[in-house]
Structure 1
Amino acid sequence: MNNNTEIGFHLTFIVLMYFLVMLFCMFSSIKETLNDGRDLYMDHFLSIEEFNDQLSKWNGKRVKVSKLEMDDVDETVLALEYISYEKDTRRLDDYESMYTLELNGAGMTQTDNERNELQPLPSSLYEIPLENNTLYEFDESEFIISTDRAVYKIVLA
């Protein structure tokens, strides 16, 4: 490299580093403004235990579960009696989830078809497959469960 190329490279590197530091400071400032210095990620997502505690408060109420999977939206309204979890140790492959959240209660489901007909649930149970990397959110009015296959939203009906 000649001297001018080397100087140009160093100047470009210094300018790039300056902008990266400025971006970091800007995002840190925004984070503090939005969240009073608390960690935004930790405030946003719940542990499975926190999720369970919050959702259990809705036992005895009517809830609507919306499931978005690819371009398909299904909605189910049910009288939530209680929640439970199932562990399946006899899985045939990794496509089947090991854990399932069970929303127990009678309900009706509406699929995204041309007639939008309501169908009773086959049993008094709505199942949500859970994975190790499932994310749980709650903002006082709705729960969001995000898995690799679908996103579920639970609200009071």
Structure 2
Amino acid sequence: MRYLIVIGVLLCSCTGTLTDEQRKKIKQNMAEGEIKKVTEAEITDATYTWGRKLASTIEKQDRMLTNQTFLDSLASVEGVEILALHTNSQNLRSIEKQLLEAYSSSTGGENVQKMGTDSLLYTKPVFREHPDGSTEFLKALAVRFTRKQVVLSIK
């Protein structure tokens, strides 16, 4: 008889419901697994938007891109790679070298480029303005995104 009461209590206490946190996690996983149809233009636009947001945050804290700890922590929080590209940097990819050459020879602005089939690169040059009004290219802020991250960020 005791065993029946214990089993009855156990069955009644296990209602099989999920907590709000578990429901939220399941919905999030379902949304991530959902197939989205987005155009290249939407992906590029989302990359610019996210890149500009990060660039604005970085410019407020570290305009000259010298605080590597800050850049690393921001990259970790955002789930991206943030780099300061110099013309003498080692291990640059060919697209990064081409962008640095272009920035060195002109006063170009921000840029988004594809890197392979699954990555995107947002770059923004950092210039020094001289007293005579001329500008000198110093380095470029580079943010590497995965294509998946950008697509998932599109609402």
What range is the shorter-chain TM-score in? 0.3 to 0.5
What TM-score, normalized by structure 1, do the two folds share?
A: 0.35
**Greater helix content:** 2
User: Does 1 or 2 have the higher relative contact order (CA < 8 Å, sep 6+)?
Assistant: 2
What TM-score, normalized by structure 2, do the two folds share?
A: 0.35
**Greater strand content:** 1
